[in-house]
């Protein structure tokens, strides 16, 4: 190798000795990657770099392809810059904030005196299209921090200057495309022409750096893909998601409401919504009881001293509500674990008594910020299907595996697939490193024993222990966090939980915190969108509606209604003097599984004519036949 050469290895094939300052693109072409049509960037010794970046050191070079997750992220980040360039050309007075790629696309925040409107988005898209077709090179430049501050100060970009002034690095990278320049670590596409298939979706307000004390900015959201079909498919899913929005369906089906007069994030269940929740809760109780759980109930208020002892006051109090009674501080519970530990401590426990599985449909309160509240998905009062398993260390693996099996069986009933993450120790936490290591080891062992693959989510555990998070995949292939399993060696230590072992000595148990559905409010919201409001018969708040053809059939309709009601079927009666077609249509819009039509013929024969909500006419049935069908479909999991 010559002195001015570098030694570059590749994931496959032989290494190459190349002249210093060879670009990543040139190196990959020499290695036989051809035109690089599907390559958007590269990694040198694990660091992502632009294809135009000059290689100055030995290392391993690997391509980043369009179909890699990072490849899509690079496209979206570059498209965010393209959008910002278009906005600056259309609205020169606008100031730039930040514009990252996110899971479903990208956004960019702007300071603008008059808010953007939906009508502005097509104009911005058209300007983006012109800039893309211009095939403007995207060039990375390095500046000293002071030079970059002077540049953005001269442009009046105060948000960029603020970020630069907080940096400690002596040099920063800027990316230039035509007259537009932005501060960014990169990497990016090589030219604006790489962003061709994109869509700006909506505008929202966002505080600078997420702080409500900072200026309100205008955030434009968008998405981008490498192929038009991928973009079209994504936009279809977005439209379908809007159609399935649980807030809209909740209004249409009269399930729940949230009122500013009552308070943000506080849900009022209407009769049908309360019935849906009751069905879920009854299902939950039966499933827990048959798995050896005991039902308990804890108070809403516990003394503040107890929350200080548990560590909640120090690590969680910004999400809690506090009050004072008779000069004593109290905390409204955000979790149910403290009362469950007090139940355990109420008497001496033997190893023969363990495990203890305490289950509570516990209502909790958390002080969520107004900006994150969202229908049923993020609220301030919610009910968890919460349980705490207190067991010996030897029982821990089997208990975690049992919960995983519980989750799998329940999610199959609701037709959910799921993914698994392990969340590790956060910066704000309690307990020893040894206990955290033991807890993580137990979670990993249980997942492997159950044959479940998982990813690691660093620093996202509970403050008292690591956790398994279950991400449900709904009908639109979206992920929802619901079930969780937390392994806790710390709170049993703080609350001095003990059991008498076979040796007659006192020992420390382990506690597993877990939910199966999670917050009932959130799970109901997910279910509404998963089923688009068309719940399976066993979950439907109304399973059937009886529809009269004429007024003269009203008496027989009343009799059939009472017969169905007496067997426990959730049935409604519609004997209004309206056209049958109108009543059928209204029942379909309410997504009721069955419409029972009764006219002269049915009354004469003592029969009924059921129809499904999809429009299928089932013909003539006897009332007992129909009752048997509803009963069969009322078993959880029967669709």
Give catalytic residues, as residue numbers.
337, 366, 384, 386, 388, 467, 513
Q: How far is the C-alpha of 541 from the C-alpha of 590, rounded, in Å?
A: 10
**Tokens representing residue 165 in the block:** 């002034």
User: Distances from the Cα of 357 to the Cαs of 418, 442, 467, 518, in angstroms?
Assistant: 25, 18, 18, 17
Q: Are 79 and 42 in contact (CB under 8 A)?
A: no
**Ramachandran area for residue 330 (φ above 0: left; ψ -120 to 50: alpha; else beta):** beta
Q: Is the peptide bond before 452 cis (omega within 30 degrees of 0)?
A: no
Q: Tell me phi and psi for residue 613, to 5 degrees.
A: -65, -20
Q: How far is the C-alpha of 497 from the C-alpha of 506, rounded, in Å?
A: 10
Sign of the Cα torsion 560, 566, 567, 571 reads positive
Q: Are 330 and 302 in contact (CB under 8 A)?
A: yes
Q: Find how far residue 486's CA is from the centre of its chain.
A: 18
Q: Across-strand partners of 95?
A: 111
**Torsion (CA) 407, 408, 409, 414 in degrees, nearest 10:** 90
- The distance between the two most distant Cα atoms of the chain, rounded to a whole number of Å, is 102
Q: Across-strand partners of 256?
A: 269
**Residue entry with tokens 């409204």:** 332
What pairing do the DSSP bridges indicate for beta strands 455-457 and 417-423?
parallel
For the chain, what's the residue count? 639
Segment holding 606, helix H or strand E: none
For 21, other C-beta atoms within 10 Å of its C-beta total 11
**Tokens representing residue 319 in the block:** 């999400």
**Tokens representing residue 209 in the block:** 């750096």
**Residue entry with tokens 């007259």:** 179
Q: How far is the C-alpha of 238 from the C-alpha of 231, rounded, in Å?
A: 10
Q: How far is the C-alpha of 13 from the C-alpha of 28, rounded, in Å?
A: 12
Sign of the Cα torsion 275, 278, 279, 280 reads positive
- Please name the residue ranges forming H helices in 311-429: 312-316, 337-344, 396-413
Nearest residue to 200 (alpha-carbon basis) of 267, 117, 140: 117
Q: Are 31 and 13 in contact (CB under 8 A)?
A: yes
Segment holding 71, helix H or strand E: helix 69-90
Segment holding 216, helix H or strand E: strand 216-225
**Tokens representing residue 258 in the block:** 């949230």
């Amino acid at each position: 190798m010559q002195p001015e050469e570098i030694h570059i290895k590749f994931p496959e094939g032989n290494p190459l000795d190349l002249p210093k300052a060879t670009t990543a693109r040139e190196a990959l072409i020499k290695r036989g990657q051809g035109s690089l049509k599907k390559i958007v960037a590269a990694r040198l010794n694990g660091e992502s770099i632009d294809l135009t970046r000059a290689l100055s050191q030995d290392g391993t070079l690997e391509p980043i392809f369009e179909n890699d997750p990072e490849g899509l992220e690079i496209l979206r980040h570059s498209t965010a810059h393209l959008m910002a360039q278009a906005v600056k050309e259309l609205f020169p007075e606008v100031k730039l904030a930040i514009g990252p790629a996110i899971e479903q696309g990208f956004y960019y925040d702007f300071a603008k005196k008059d808010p953007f409107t939906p009508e502005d988005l097509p104009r911005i898209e058209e300007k983006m299209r012109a800039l893309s077709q211009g095939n403007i090179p995207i060039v990375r430049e390095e500046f000293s921090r002071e030079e970059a501050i002077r540049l953005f100060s001269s442009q009046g970009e105060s948000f960029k200057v603020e970020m630069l002034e907080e940096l400690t690095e002596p040099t920063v990278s800027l990316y230039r495309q035509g007259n537009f320049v932005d501060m960014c670590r990169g990497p990016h596409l090589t030219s604006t022409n790489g962003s061709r298939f994109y869509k700006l979706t909506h505008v929202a307000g966002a505080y600078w750096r997420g702080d409500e004390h900072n200026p309100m900015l205008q955030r434009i959201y968008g998405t981008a893909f490498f192929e038009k079909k991928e973009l079209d498919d994504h936009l279809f899913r977005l439209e379908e998601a809007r159609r399935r929005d649980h807030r809209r369906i909740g209004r249409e089906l009269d399930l729940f409401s949230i009122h500013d007069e009552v308070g943000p994030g506080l849900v009022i269940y209407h009769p049908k919504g309360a019935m849906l929740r009751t069905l879920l809760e009854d299902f939950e109780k039966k499933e827990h009881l048959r798995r050896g759980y005991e039902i308990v109930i804890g108070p809403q208020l516990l003394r503040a001293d107890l929350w200080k002892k548990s560590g909640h006051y120090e690590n969680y109090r910004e999400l809690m509500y506090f009050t004072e009674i008779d000069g004593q501080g109290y905390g409204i519970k955000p979790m149910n674990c403290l009362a469950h530990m007090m139940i355990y401590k109420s008497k001496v426990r033997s190893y023969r008594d363990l495990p203890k599985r305490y289950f509570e449909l516990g209502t909790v309160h958390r002080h969520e910020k107004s900006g994150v509240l969202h229908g049923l998905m993020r609220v301030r009062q919610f009910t968890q299907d919460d349980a705490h398993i207190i067991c010996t260390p030897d029982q821990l693996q089997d208990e975690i595996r049992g919960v995983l099996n519980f989750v799998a069986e329940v999610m199959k009933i609701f037709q959910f697939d799921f993914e698994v993450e392990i969340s590790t120790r956060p910066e704000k936490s309690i307990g020893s490193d040894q206990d955290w290591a033991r807890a993580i080891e137990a979670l990993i062992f249980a997942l492997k024993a159950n044959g479940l693959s998982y990813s690691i989510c660093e620093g996202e555990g509970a403050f008292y222990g690591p956790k398994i998070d279950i991400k449900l995949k709904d009908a639109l292939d979206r992920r929802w966090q619901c079930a969780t399993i937390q392994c806790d060696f710390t709170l049993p230590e703080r609350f001095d939980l003990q059991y008498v072992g076979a040796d007659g000595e006192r020992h420390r148990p382990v506690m597993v915190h877990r939910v199966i559905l999670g917050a009932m409010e959130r799970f109901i919201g997910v279910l509404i969108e998963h089923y688009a409001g068309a719940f399976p018969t066993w979950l439907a708040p109304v399973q059937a509606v009886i529809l009269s053809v004429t007024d003269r059939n009203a008496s027989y309709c009343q009799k059939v209604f009472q017969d169905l009601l007496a067997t426990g079927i959730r049935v409604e009666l519609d004997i209004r003097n309206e056209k049958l077609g109108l009543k059928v249509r209204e029942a379909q819009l309410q997504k009721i599984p069955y419409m029972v039509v009764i006219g002269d013929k049915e009354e004469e024969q003592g029969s009924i004519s059921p129809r499904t909500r999809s429009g299928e006419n089932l013909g003539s049935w006897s009332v007992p036949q129909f009752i048997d069908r509803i009963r069969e479909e009322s078993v959880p999991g029967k669709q």
